[in-house]
Structure formats: structure tokens, C-alpha cells
Amino acid sequence: MPCSLRSKIISLSLCIERGFTQSFETIQQHPSLPFHNSPTVPSSNRQSGSKRHITCTQFPLKILKTQSALNSQQQRSFKSTRRLHTNLYPRQLVLRLSNQAKRFSTALSAPFKTMDRSTSDCPTQQSPSDEENSPEVSDTSSQTTAASTPSQTPAVLANQLAKYNLTEAILFQVQDALIELAEAAGTMMVNAEHAILNEASTKNNTSDLVSDYDKAIEAMVQKRLNEEFPDFGFLGEETYQHGQKLTDSPIFIVDPVDGTINFTRGFHNFAISLCLAIDKQPVVAVVYSPNLGKLFTAVKTHGARMVNELFVPRKKPGPNAEDVFVPTFKTKLKTLPEYRLPLAPISPPMPSLKKRLIAIEWGNERKGPNWDLRTDVHTKLLTSDEAGGKMILSCRSSGSAALDFCYVAAGMFDAFWEGGVWVWDVAAGWLIVEEAGGIVASANPGDWQPTLEGRTYFPVRGAKREEQEAVVKELWEVMGDRKFVYKDKKKPDDGTVSAAETA
């Protein structure tokens, strides 16, 4: 979808969603408007009469009037079409347009269906079928759903964007661009993986070759982002300069290959992590693992989603150039079904650390206080209650911090306790966790508001807020008064490697 058309659709959807309540109240207070002259106004006059418009928060009446004029057969067709298309990218746009337009048109047409104006007292109530088909837009007070713990309100986000003369429409344009870049980078990764595996069979060290591919992917991403968004900054793992900091102004944060060891060994758990941050907070996130066929995305205040890619069998590598190990996608990422995160409609209870699945990475720092803390906490988490431990279900080490965050967001992991990773490893995953109803505390005790550059993180999946906080506090108790301590940032190629990348 062209960016200009997408921007118009986004603006329309936001207008419908946020102006609905206020607009309906305005209509109720102005019975002299054409739609409310009389319950007995002839239908011909209603459809082709006065061209006066409702002057309340810029509602597109043509769409609403057209929708309200649908007969019952068309309404059934409309609902069937909505069921089909709300799972397709971009789900949030199609769903918001169709659902809100239908609800508002029902409110407008209610006075004409009966002589009794009281039938329109509750025009915005959703039917059970609507709630079943579109749970993400129905308001709920339950604290067990993703929507119960929003990371930021729309009004706060709008003010944040306004400081830089931006609107929410630009966030979806950025998301589109990042998804396209992730798909292009995914093809480069798969081709590179084959070359690296061939190289590994003849040489002992493939680090130089891996670095070349990392740099090539990051250079491609940076070039395209600079062309499309020249006013935004850029912070990448491969181009990071000693002392470089995040800025308050819009900046892209990029890790071209997160999970480098997995990448070199042919283990499929690696990904590209792309993020846009404003005021040092992530607002758009894309994490894509080409070999796993999973794409995770999030836009601030609009939820998080996962695309489960459909692969066509790939051609096996051969001696000829045309037999290069290139992935052939059955269809583009943007047209594949999306799943709202977390994957479970209602997050399971999480009363304590016991029987929880926790992700922990290891790194190459195998001595000193940070290592002692990591191994001691790991041992206590796995030890039985009788021996003074917490007896969690198990630990997982995926080798990619970006994917660990995404697995927490999806509900596959209950939490991820980590110290030592870099901002480019976690920026995108952080937003995806929050938009899926999770929280991100610090891995160090007492810090409920970690920063992107803090290097200690403890994301917890969606659940009741008191349960999330209880899990965090319980793990902090295991740590006691000990904390991860990391010196000022050094350039990544000086030998300092994040824990998640060396698992």
C-alpha cells in the first residue's frame, strides 16, 4: 500500500476511534441536524436531501452514510469480509475502520428505525459477535489482557510526537519501511549463513566473514533509512562510535544480526532488530527471524503482533551459481496473517516464580562478580523448595536477546532476566513486550524504571499487574543486595560481547 494512501487511512481510523464518543454526544445535543429532523423523515430525503455536514471532530459522513444504508444481506457480507481481512496486514487499520464505522453508522441510523428515540440511548454497545471478532478494540477493565497495561496513552504519545512535528501516521510509514528492510535483510542473512557454513568447514575462525555480513546488512539498512527519513538519527551496532549516546530526537536503533553465534553455527535462532526511538523511548519496533519465519512488530499504543511466515521448500545449495541458497517466500510478509500478542486470549495466572519458564543468557564473561551473580541466581531458581530454591519450571537460553524479549511478549517465556546486553539488542523487543501487556523492570533490585542504555533488563509477560510485580520482587529477593555492574560503554569490537550473543 502506498505510504500516502496509508497515511490517509491511518488518519481516518484515528479520527473515527478517538472522536466517536464526543461526536455522538454532539449529535444527541443537536436534534435539528438533518439526520435527526424526525423519525419519520422519508428515506429519500435522508439519502439525497440537505448537504449539511455534522461539524464534530471531522467525521467522514460519506463512509458512515454508505455503511448505514447497507441492507441486511450487505451487512452479512460486510461482516464476513471483515472476518477475512482483519487478520491481514495492516490489521489495526482495517479493523479500526470497519468496526468503528459500523458502530457509528448504527448510532446514526437508530433514530430512523423506530419512533421511540430511547432506542439510541446506548448506540455504541457491541454485540457479542463483534466482540468475538475484534477483541483488540473492545474496551476492557480486566487486568489479564494485553490492553490492560498500556505502555503509554495516545494523548501522551501525540504530545511527544508534536515536539518534532510528527503525527502517528509517520509511525506506520516507518513500520512499513522497517518490515521491507527486515525482509531484504532476511534474504541476505540466509545467503550469508550458507557461505559461512561452507567457510567454517575449511577454516577455524569465521568471525571476519560474519563481521563482513553484519556490516553489509547494516549499511543497506542505513542507506535506505537515510533516503526515506533523512531527518532521523541512526545508531547501529556495527557503526557505533565510542561515547555515542541516544538522542531525544527521532533515531533508528539497529542490530543487523542478533544472535551471532547461532548465525555462525547454522542454529536458526537469530534475527534482525529494528527500532525507532523518540525521547529515548521505543515507538516502532520490528524483529524478524528469517529462518524461523517469525516477524514481530509493534507501534506505540497500537499493540504488538506476530506474523508466522509460510515457507516454500528452498532449493538445496549446489555447485552452480544459480543454486545459491536463496529463500523463496510464498508471499510477502505484509500479506500474511497476523496474531495479536500475547498469543493466549487471556494470559495465564502467574502467582509466583514457581513453575515459571525463565530465559537466562550466559555471555563470555566467565569470572568475576557478574558471573558469580548470574550462576548463583540460576542455581537457586532451579533448586527445589526443600533445598531453599524457587523451583522454576526451567531455564531457556536462545542466544538472541531480541528474540527472548519477543518470546516473553508472545507468552512463550514468562520472563527474561539479563544483564550486559546493549541498547540495539533490546530496543525493539522492549516495545513489543510493553505493547503485549508486559512490563520491563531492571535486572537489578529496586529499579522499576530502567533506561534503554542501562544494560540490565527484566521483561515479564502480560498478566495482572500485581502478579508481574510479585515475580519481579521474588527474583530480586534471590539476588539480595547484589547487582550487575558494568563499566561505561566500550566499542563492541574491543572484545566486550553481550551475553545474549555468546550463548
Burial of 33 (0-12, 13-18, 19+ CB in 10 A): middle
Question: Is residue 279 annotated as involved in ligand binding?
Answer: no
Question: Is residue 248 annotated as involved in ligand binding?
Answer: no
**What are the backbone angles phi and psi of residue 94, rounded to the nearest 5°?**
-60, -45
> Sign of the CA dihedral 62, 68, 74, 80?
positive
Neighbours of 311 (CB within 10 A): 12
Pairwise CA distance, residues 228 & 303, whole Å: 25
Question: Is residue 136 annotated as involved in ligand binding?
Answer: no
Asked if 184 and 220 count as a contact pair (C-beta separation under 8 A), the reply is: yes
Pairwise CA distance, residues 352 & 371, whole Å: 25
Asked if 275 and 236 count as a contact pair (C-beta separation under 8 A), the reply is: no
Pairwise CA distance, residues 17 & 104, whole Å: 10
Q: Which of 285, 299, 291 is nearest to 254 (CA)?
A: 285
Give the contacts of 313 (CB within 8 A, at least 6 positions apart).
none
Question: Is residue 323 annotated as involved in ligand binding?
Answer: no
User: Which of helix, strand or coil describes residue 469?
Assistant: helix
The answer, yes or no, to whether the previous bond of 90 is cis (omega within 30 of 0) is: yes
Pairwise CA distance, residues 208 & 378, whole Å: 33
Side chain identity, residue 480: G
Please enumerate, by residue number, every residue annotated as part of a binding site.
237, 255, 258, 425
Please enumerate, by residue number, every residue annotated as part of a binding site for Mg(2+).
237, 255, 258, 425
